């Protein structure tokens, strides 16, 4: 599960990735992206990081951070100051939802809202997936 939150007070994007028993946070601070795994900050100079399970790796890529967890369906989650890109592995095609759509290559049916209605444009689609300002659990 990949969540994006806009912190209005700091005017920045915060990323939270939940994989098995891991909770990974990424957010910009000063001129770098901060990475926390289960609440513990991983200094950029300690990257690449590999989870003890061996199934999740986090690397610096250019100005951003790339998380790889192919056995959990995530080929790459890339985050820098302005961009979030999610690539799923091939076996996840047709099994995703939300802003990723179904990732099945079909483009006309991709703009489905949480209640399965088809929207006519990207703006309506995006707004339909915005969650209220409550804590996710």
Digit-coded pLDDT (tens) for 35-92:
999 999 999 899 999 998 889 999 999 888 999 999 998 889 998 877 888 888 888 7
Q: What percent of the chain is predicted at pLDDT more than 70?
A: 76
Q: What percent of the chain is predicted at pLDDT more than 90?
A: 24
Q: Mean pLDDT over residues 9-25, rounded? A: 81
Residue ranges of the domains in the chain?
Answer: 2-88, 93-132
Structure tokens at 107: 């483009």
Whole-number pLDDT of residue 81: 78
User: What's the pTM?
Assistant: 0.74
Residue 126, SS3 per DSSP: helix
More confident residue, 130 or 8: 130
Pairing of strands 12-19, 22-29: antiparallel
d(CA 1, CA 92): 13
With helix as H, strand as E and coil as C, how does 34-80 read?
A: EEEECCEECCHHHCCEECCCCCCEEEEECCEEEEEEHHHCEEEEEEC
φ and ψ at 56, to 5 degrees?
-135, 125
- As a whole number, the mean pLDDT across the chain is 80
Whole-number pLDDT of residue 56: 93
Q: Mean pLDDT over residues 21-43, rounded? A: 89
Whole-number pLDDT of residue 4: 66
């Amino acid at each position: 599960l990949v969540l994006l939150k806009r912190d209005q007070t700091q005017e920045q994007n915060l990323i939270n990735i939940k994989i098995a028993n891991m909770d990974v946070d990424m957010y910009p601070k000063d001129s770098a992206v901060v990475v926390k795994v289960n609440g513990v900050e991983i200094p950029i100079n300690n990257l690449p990081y590999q989870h003890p399970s061996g199934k999740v790796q986090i690397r610096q890529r250019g100005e951003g951070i790339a998380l790889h967890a192919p056995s959990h369906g995530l080929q790459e989650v890339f985050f820098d100051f302005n961009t979030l890109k999610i690539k799923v592995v091939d076996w996840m095609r047709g099994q995703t939802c939300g802003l990723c759509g179904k990732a099945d290559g079909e483009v006309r049916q991709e703009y489905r809202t949480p209640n399965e209605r088809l929207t006519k444009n990207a703006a309506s689609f995006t707004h339909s997936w915005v969650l209220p300002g409550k804590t996710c659990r």
